[in-house]
Amino acid sequence: MELKFSGQLETPEIKLPKEEQKGEAAVHKKEEPKAKTETDTAKYDEKPADGLPIFIESAKLFYGRNLKTDIKPIESALEKVLTLNGVTYEWRVKEFPQMNFDNKRHVGVLAQEVEAVLPEAVETGEDGYKSVKYSEITPLLIEAMKEQQQIINNQQKQIDELKKMVEELLKK
């Protein structure tokens, strides 16, 4: 099994359930805290019950403005979200046995669609396969909701104005 820690970590300690532990190798502790994006990998001999590798995105992320530079708003967020498709899918288990996929139905998005509108949310591994960092999509969704709410507010204002006009016309 492989544990992959990506993101900004500050001395994380990850403990696996007892059935997944193998001696002291089951605890991975990062020795020195860092405030930059990095990827650390620890390998374990045993697989979890479902047979899938475990990928843990960071134990602690840094969100403060004081650690960031070149901060810009996400533009056309609603337009970008509208290009994405939420899908259900099953893994191609027989074609990719080395991936240890399960036979369950899943929900998600397609990395290629996300990459087209938000490349920061997609990683391409050394093997060429793409993966989505779902937590990176959240800010896009927040901004899209704000844009959509502005549209709703404008429409409500128009409805109220039209109602008022109709009431005035009915009084005559």
Q: Could you tell me the pTM of the whole model?
A: 0.63
Residue type, 6: S
For residues 22-40, one letter each, b for 16 or more C-beta atoms within 10 angstroms of the residue's C-beta and e for the rest, the string is eeeebebebeeeeeeeeee
Which stretches within 30-95 are classed as H helix?
A: 77-83
Tens of each residue's pLDDT in the chain, 172 residues = 444 444 443 434 444 444 444 443 334 434 444 444 444 444 433 444 555 555 555 545 667 888 899 999 999 999 999 999 999 999 999 999 999 999 999 999 999 999 999 999 999 999 999 999 999 999 999 999 999 999 999 999 999 999 999 999 999 8
Neighbours of 90 (CB within 10 A): 11
Domains in the chain and their CATH numbers? 1-63 (no CATH), 74-172 (1.10.10)
